[in-house]
Structure 1
Amino acid sequence: MSGTRPPGVSRHFVLAAGGTGGHMLPAFALAVELERRGHHVALVTDERGAKIPGKPDFMPAHVLPAGRLGRNPVALAKGLAAIWRGRAMALRLFDSFQPSCVVGFGGYPALPALLAARAAKIPTVIHEQNAVLGRVNRYLAPRVDAIATAYAEVDRLDPKLDGKVHCVGNPVRPEVLALRSEPFPDFGDDTLFRVLVTGGSQGASVLSDVVPDGLAMLPAVLRHRLQVTQQCRAEDLEAVRARYAGHQIPAELGTYFEDMASRLADAHLFIGRAGASTIAELTAVGRPAILVPLPIATDDHQAANTRELVRAGGARAIRQNGFTPKELAKQIQTMALHPQTLANAAHAAWNCGLPNAVSDLADLVEGFGGAPLMDVIRVGESQSALAQANEALARQSRAQGAAR
């Protein structure tokens, strides 16, 4: 019965997420799925998170204080005070909203809501998008009812908690997931070689510096067929355009592409960072990649994110300190000089995908917090189940009365 529920059965859920797209986008995807199943959903975040585009219109956002816990004693005291204020505000919200479960997606803005849920004895679930358990989720993991992960192997996750870990994957946008059934674009000796380059929401200067020169070093059989789409920082745009023009490589550049899903659909090779959402989309669609993990990512989690995909043969990872034009050209040749090699890498990436992530996460969340009667309705197939539940409750009430 995954993804379906009888009409008229509605619960309330609170989703708590930090103020970055990596935390917020999975929360938005889960909200859409829960609302589709007939539930009411509210968001708890900070001021930055409330401004991230993509929030479903039906989901109200509640902005709570959420301090960070630094090592400086003064900053630590301020952070704790903000978290405590946020916890108190979350308790008041829960008192009126009466959630069946509170779901955290990491980041400090999620902490007050999860602490409040624990104090109010409301069931809790956390979702970890990366292959390293984040700091807030690391603190919460022993205290929550269930831990949903995007990877089967997650660093910094205590093995003692394995009993409540569920590998569900990382939800991706519907328009990207729809591409999973589409074949890998034709790639042969006489076709275009379409390369998509992005560096996250703001682009990455290292990609602007290295990729044009690396592509120019490819053998003529590949270089003369190139068609590049690259996202750049605004300050890098003209310099990158001039560099591609100097190499006589056709390239479409921009600071943001609204139709990123269609560009991913056309791409034969992706070059970019290794954020959780990027990996989830590459594996959902099945696109080979050369990944350059962000070196300053907390706990080096982007490098860990590449691990499964690289082992499977769907990607190559290059550390930023070794990301040179020569190394990039070498890795592209290894993957693309023979058409079948690139197609095999695409298939390996596709096999790493977890396309049911959002429905599996929703199933997990729905499993917590329902009253016994609600659970009967949720799994029942007919009105007879409801009648049986009512009769059971009546018998229990009569038995208790006789005992008194």
Structure 2
Amino acid sequence: MSVSRHYVLAAGGTGGHLIPAFALATELERRGHHVALITDARGAAIPGKPASLPAHVLPAGRLEGKNPLSWIKGVRAILEGRSMALRLFESFEPSAVVGFGGYPALPALLAATSAKIPTVIHEQNAVLGRVNRFLAGRVNAIATAYREVDRLSPSHAEKVHLVGNPVRDEVLALRDQPFPAFTADGLLRVLVTGGSQGARVLSEVVPDGLSMLQPALRARLQVTQQCRPEDIDAVRQRYATHGIPAELGTYFEDMATRLADAHLFIGRAGASTIAELTAVGRPAILVPLPIATDDHQAANAREMAASGGARSIRQEKFTGAELAKQIQAMAQHPETLANAAHAAWNCGYPNAATNLADLVEGFGGSPLMDVIRVAGQAQPAGKEALALETAE
């Protein structure tokens, strides 16, 4: 007998934390469960949130810096958020609370552990994040996206579950499509992005690097590049000077379609980027963000690069000449690029959302108690029963 349960997801207000949370919410709702989201104001407004998913904004203090006053303020906000989360749990009665990292997840997870509600954390990166490190010893299960995760204590090994990093449905739908035909005289379609705001180093290096390719390969280029608004005119001029056709934009709504058409990706190594590249099977040249916390983007690129599906270049070594050298090596022969695409595909976890949902569903009361609890209410504790302000 299928039992409808209630789950709370808690995530920081960035796409890296929220995309997998949205994917899990969608999967749990498909299974007949009720789901609520706890985040910050930025997360409540981020595009892509399922329309049926209520988002609750809680205070989330940050414990950073050396100023004692900032720590006092941060602790006060965390405690306030914890109290608000406990009130939510009283009305929503979650079977489990799932955290996706980021400071906005901390009050909810602290509230859940104090209320003895089962807890799961999901780590999207190949380095355990600060909030997840703090919570690792307190939670019931740790879900990971990589086989090797740095800063994860061996003492927690028994509760670690490798599930992968969930991606958007429109991206996952591309997994069974073949790698676009790439021939010795056909177009080489290159997709360049630097995250939600673009990356200046890509705007500065990529056009010049592509111009350094051997003429036969350079003549076959078709480039799509996402740029920062303040960089786009200069990038357009660079491509025009080199005579390379390029479509530029600050944001592409049809990114999944563009990824499907691409032969080669150039960009950062964020968790969602790696998950999508490996879900679809696209070779890449990755430039990890050097200021990423704990250098986690370099760690994210590690598995894909070791498989042969990507080349990882440190930003200080990311020059036009080095980029041209790596592209030439990957695309000089059609079979080389196709082999890299297959290697990237093999690193993917297409069942990540269902794997994570299976893990989460493993926590909660007995089915009989759930039936009694739900049947005893006039209606399920859903959006109408929540005490906190809802941001639809």
Band of TM-score, shorter chain: over 0.9
Q: 1:6-61, CA deviations, whole angstroms, 9 ceiling, x for partnerless residues?
A: 55x20000000001110011101100110110000000011111111111111111
| 2:222 pairs with 1:234 | no
After TM superposition, give the deviation of residue 373 of structure 1 in Å.
2.4
- What are the residue-to-residue correspondences of 1:87-102 with 2, within 5 Å? 87-102=82-97
Q: Any unmatched runs of 5+ in structure 1? A: 1-5, 378-404
TM-score (norm 1): 0.90
SS in 2 for 1:228: strand
SS in 2 for 1:195: strand
| 2:145 pairs with 1:159 | no
- What are the residue-to-residue correspondences of 1:4-403 with 2, within 5 Å? 6-7=1-2, 9-70=3-64, 71-373=66-368
Partner Cα distance (1:371, 1:151) in 2: 31
Partner Cα distance (2:49, 2:171) in 1: 17
- Count of residues paired in the alignment: 371
Partner letter of residue 138 of structure 2?
A: R
Partner Cα distance (1:294, 1:374) in 2: 48
Q: Any unmatched runs of 5+ in structure 2? A: 373-392
Partner Cα distance (2:268, 2:52) in 1: 32
Partner Cα distance (2:50, 2:370) in 1: 27
SS in 2 for 1:142: coil
After TM superposition, give the deviation of residue 158 of structure 1 in Å.
0.3
Partner Cα distance (1:375, 1:91) in 2: 20
Identify which of structures 1 and 2 has the higher relative contact order when contacts are C-alpha pairs closer than 8 Å and 6+ apart.
2
Structure with the greater alpha carbon radius of gyration:
1
Q: 1:204-228, CA deviations, whole angstroms, 9 ceiling, x for partnerless residues?
A: 0100000000000000121000000
Partner Cα distance (1:188, 1:137) in 2: 46
Partner Cα distance (1:360, 1:375) in 2: 22
Moved beyond 4 Å, runs of 4+: 374-377
The aligned residue for residue 379 of structure 2 is none
Partner Cα distance (1:62, 1:266) in 2: 37
After TM superposition, give the deviation of residue 370 of structure 1 in Å.
2.7
Partner Cα distance (1:186, 1:374) in 2: 55
Identity %, equivalent residues: 79
